Amino acid sequence: MCGIVGIVSVGENSVNQEIYDALTILQHRGQDAAGIVTCENGRFYQRKDNGLVKDVFRTRHMRDLIGTMGIGHVRYPTAGSSSSAEAQPFYVNSPYGIVMGHNGNLTNAEQVAQEIYRQDLRHLNTNSDSEVLLNVFAHELMQDRKMEISEEDIFEAIAKVHKRVRGGYAAVGMISTIGIFAFRDPYGLRPCVVGQRQTAYGTDYMIASESVALDGLGFKLLKDLAPGEAVVITDKGEISFKQCAENPVYSPCIFEFVYFARPDSMIDDISVYKSRLRMGEKLAEKILREWPDHDIDVVMPIPDTSRTSAIELANKLGTPYREGFIKNRYIGRTFIMPGQHLRKKSVRQKLNAIGLEFEGKNVLLIDDSIVRGTTSGQIVQMAREAGAKKVYFASAAPAVRYPYVYGIDMPSPAELVASNHTTEEVAEIIGCDKLIYQDLDDLVEAVSAGSERVNQFDTSCFSGVYATGDITPEYLASLDQARNDDAQNANKQKSGQETVGIHNRS
C-alpha cells in the first residue's frame, strides 16, 4: 500500500511544500521511501530516497524542487526490494518526459514485463511493477508519434493501459509538456480522489490517495475517480475527466476501511470513521446474539485503528470502555514491517500496558484484524502480565485466510494464522480465553451502508474470491514463494537486500 499526490497550482508559488505536507499526511500509507518530482519550464526536479518524509527531504532538497506542478509518493515496505532504486516516482524520457507514482499491484506484471522488453523494446531498470505500468503507458502514448499531444491522447493511452495490465492500481503521473494526470483500475480497488481550491489566480487542483490529504491543504473534495476513470489537469489549470475502461465495476478494497485508511478520510463517498463505528456495532450484536451471558468487565482497543470500533462496541454492550494500552507513536505500523523478528520486537516497543486497568478484570481486547497472529499473541500475553483475570479477543474483520494480491502485502498463506485453523484453534495459538471474529456479511453491510453507489467490495483476503477473476493457484503459489519470511530472508542473504523479483508491491 502506498500514497500518491499530485498538485497543479495556477499561481506563482512552487508546489514543493504542499506536496511535502500532503505526503506527511499520507505517511500512514507508506513508511519505507518517499519521493517528489516537480516541473518548471519543461524540466523535472526530483528528490527521492528511503525513509520517512521528514528524513528524505531537507531544506537544500526543497529549494531545488521548483515548479508550480508536481507529484509525490510514499512507499511501504513489502516482500520486494528495500533499495532506494525502488523509491518513486519513476521517470522515462521518451516520449515527452513522463514521471509516475503508483499505488497497487499488477497481477500480470511478469508477462507484461516480458512484452515490454521483447515487443515494445523498452528497458526496465528495477523489479517494480510501477515501472512496468509507467513503461506501458509511455509506449502507448508514443504510438502516434506526435510532436504535441492533447488530453485526448493521454486518455487513449490510458484506455490501452487498462487493456494490457490487470490488478489493482491508482496512478498519478506528470508529462512535462502537458500537466498531471491520474487513473484508477477498472474495479476501483485502490482509492484516488480529486480536489479543488479557489485562489486569487484561479483554481488549483490536487490528486491524492485519500481525502484527508485534501482537507489538510485546504482543498475541497471534487470527486473520487470512478473505476476505470482518468483525469488530466493541464499546467494552466484546465481539468478533464474520461471513462477509459470498457466494463468498469465498482469493487473497492474493503481492507482500506478496516485498517489502512485514516478514519477522517472519505473513500467513494463512504466515511471510514462511520464504517468503523458500524463494525463495532455489528460485532457487539454478534456477541449479544452468540454470548448473551458474557462476563466481560471492560472493553479495550489495541491502538489505534480499532479504537473507533471498540468505543461503539462498548456502548452497545453497555460495558465500560478503557484505554489499557498506550502507544509509542514513533514506532511504525507493525502490519507492514518486513520480517517476523522485527514485527515481534516492535510490539513491546510500541505498546505499554496500564496495569491498574487490567488487574483482576475480564478484558475484551478489540483489534481491527488478525493476520499472522504474532502481534495478537504478544498483546494477549501483555494483558495477562498486567493482571487480567481473563483475556477475550475480538476482531472487527473476519478471519484473514487468503493472500491479498492487489497491493497489500499480506503474507504467505502458511503464515496467515487463520489459513488452516478454526476459530478455537486460533484462540489457542494467540493464547486468549475466547475469540470472536466479525462475520463477512456484517462487515460488508457496515461499510456499504455509507454509500448509495457501492454495494460490493473486494473481500478476497477473507473469502478467497478475487475481484479481477484472473487469480490462479499457480499465481498464488508464486506469490507464496516470494512472500514467506523464509524466502525473503534467503533472498536477503543471497543479494544483500530484500529482492524477490517482480512481486514488489507499490
pLDDT surpassing 80 at residue 336: no
* Locus of grid cell 497489500: 408
Residue 230 confidence (pLDDT): 98
**149-189 pLDDT, tens digit each:** 999 999 999 999 999 999 999 999 999 999 999 999 999 99
How far is Cα 228 from Cα 474, in angstroms, rounded to an integer? 27
Q: Is the previous residue joined to 413 through a cis bond, with omega within 30 degrees of 0?
A: no
pLDDT surpassing 50 at residue 301: yes
If one compares 82 and 195, the residue with the highest pLDDT of the two is 195
**Is this prediction's pTM over 0.85?**
yes
Q: Sketch out the chain's domains with CATH numbers.
A: 3-249 (3.60.20.10), 274-327+348-451 (3.40.50.2020)
**235-244 pLDDT, tens digit each:** 999 999 999 9
Task: Work out the average pLDDT over 96-105.
Answer: 96
Sequence ranges of the binding site: 305, 367-368
Q: Which residues share a beta bridge with 221? A: 195
Q: How many residues does the chain have?
A: 506
pLDDT surpassing 90 at residue 82: no
How far is Cα 151 from Cα 235, in angstroms, rounded to an integer? 12
How far is Cα 50 from Cα 180, in angstroms, rounded to an integer? 24
pLDDT surpassing 90 at residue 1: no
How far is Cα 502 from Cα 506, in angstroms, rounded to an integer? 11
Sequence ranges of the binding site for Mg(2+): 305, 367-368
Residue 79 confidence (pLDDT): 45
How far is Cα 214 from Cα 98, in angstroms, rounded to an integer? 24
**7-50 pLDDT, tens digit each:** 999 988 899 999 999 999 999 999 999 999 999 999 999 999 99
Residues assigned a catalytic role: 2
How far is Cα 197 from Cα 448, in angstroms, rounded to an integer? 29
Q: Which stretch of DSSP H or E encloses residue 136?
A: helix 129-141
Which residue type sits at 237? G
Q: What is the pLDDT of the chain when averaged over all its residues?
A: 91
- In DSSP notation, 297-329 reads -EEEE-TTTTHHHHHHHHHHHT--B---EEE-T
Give CA torsion, residues 396, 446, 405, 330, to 10 deg: -50
Count of alpha carbons within 13 angstroms of residue 98, beta-carbon side: 26
